[in-house]
């Protein structure tokens, strides 16, 4: 009779199940097929991270982010010529695709107001790029960023109670499944373009936040993969 395998061996036999391994691999890689990925974060340590804005309106500050000395961050400026008149930054690269399928239900970030007036900060998703009349959705309630020169963490939810349509958009479910333009802007009312303001805002650690069920799966999957690697 063969001896009963050790607990370590039993764990390895369970962990190496092809169906389980395949399921975890599919889950961890699924979001990337849709563009935006759960947990992706723009820290601006390597540059602009594909963010764009008006000419001269975007720059990477080399230090002074939420983590202190050496922590780079995105600096948005508007209002004073030759800067763009509107406070708007957009990303048509990694912040596109099917947010719903990826399980991304919110976007978190750190914000800094270096000016003298409070700012109504929002995020917006749009059905296309270019024209100011492009339809989409923006934060219904802004994050009011005080002019205190301090970093503030906020989370913008992406759901029906947190977003308001502008320019006669498609249903929100349709737009969240095919985001073509993601924006951070300052606007007194929900809109796809920022207001004409003279201001300077710091942005850092822009993060795709998962829905709770997806987060639970990640917490389960990561130790699973780690144990399998250790067993091998």
Residue 201 pLDDT > 90: yes
User: What is the token pair recorded at 88?
Assistant: 């708007």
What was the pLDDT predicted at 13?
33
Q: Which residues of 114-134 are buried (b: 16+ CB within 10 A; e: fewer)?
A: bbeeebbbbbbbbbeeeeeeb
Give, as one character, the DSSP assignment of residue 192: S
Q: Which of 89, 137, 140, 142 is nearest to 119 (CA)?
A: 142
Angle, CA 165 vertex, CA 118 and CA 187 arms, to 5°: 15
Q: Which of 46-55, 68-77, 119-128, 207-216 has the lowest mean pLDDT?
A: 207-216
Predicted TM-score (pTM) above 0.75: yes
**Among residues 176, 168, 211, which one has the least CA distance to residue 192?**
168
* C-beta separation of 86 from 184 below 8 A: no
Virtual torsion, Cα 208, 213, 215, 219, nearest 10 deg:
-160
pLDDT for residue 135 is more than 80: yes
What domains can be seen in the chain, in order of their start residue? 36-211 (2.60.120.260)
Higher model confidence: residue 8 or residue 38? 38
Mean pLDDT of the 161-189 span: 98
Can you tell me the distance from the alpha carbon of 218 to that of 119, in angstroms, rounded to the nearest whole number? 35
Query: Where do we find the tokens 């992406």?
Result: 158
Count Cβ atoms below 10 Å from residue 1 Cβ, excluding itself: 3
CA 59, CA 194: separation in Å to the nearest integer?
Answer: 18
pLDDT at 134: 97
* 164: β partners: 138
Token pair of 114 as six digits: 């270096």
What digits encode the pLDDT tens for the residues 21-71? Answer: 333 333 433 444 448 999 999 999 999 999 999 888 999 999 999 999 999
Pick the closest to residue 49 from 57, 39, 60, 64 (CA basis): 60
Instruction: Name the pLDDT band for 7 (thresholds 50, 70, 90).
Output: very low
Q: Report percent pLDDT > 90 for the chain.
A: 72
Q: How far apart are CA 69 and CA 136, in angstroms?
A: 38
Region 136-149: mean pLDDT is 98
Q: What was the pLDDT predicted at 212?
A: 60
Tokens 């985001």, residue located: 179
């Amino acid at each position: 009779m063969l001896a009963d395998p050790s607990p370590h061996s039993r764990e390895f036999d369970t962990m190496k199940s092809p169906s389980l391994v395949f399921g975890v691999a599919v889950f961890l890689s699924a979001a990337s097929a849709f563009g935006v990925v759960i947990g992706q974060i723009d820290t601006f340590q390597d540059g602009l991270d594909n963010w764009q804005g008006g000419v001269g309106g975007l720059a990477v500050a080399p230090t002074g982010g939420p983590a202190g000395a050496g922590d780079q961050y995105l600096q948005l400026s508007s209002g004073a010529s030759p800067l763009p008149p509107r406070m708007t930054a957009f990303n048509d690269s990694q912040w596109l695709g099917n947010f719903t399928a990826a399980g991304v239900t919110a976007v978190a970030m750190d914000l800094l107001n270096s000016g003298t007036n409070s700012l109504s900060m929002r995020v917006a998703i749009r059905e296309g790029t270019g024209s100011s009349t492009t339809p989409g959705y923006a934060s219904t309630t802004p994050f009011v960023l005080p002019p205190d020169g301090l970093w503030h963490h906020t989370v913008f939810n992406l759901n029906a109670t947190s977003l308001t349509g502008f320019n006669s958009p498609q249903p929100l479910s349709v737009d969240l499944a095919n985001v073509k333009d993601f924006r951070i802007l300052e606007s007194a009312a929900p809109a796809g373009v920022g207001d004409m303001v003279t201001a300077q805002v710091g942005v850092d650690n822009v993060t795709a936040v998962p829905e709770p069920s997806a987060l639970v799966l990640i917490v389960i999957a990561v130790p699973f993969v780690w144990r399998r690697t250790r067993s091998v």
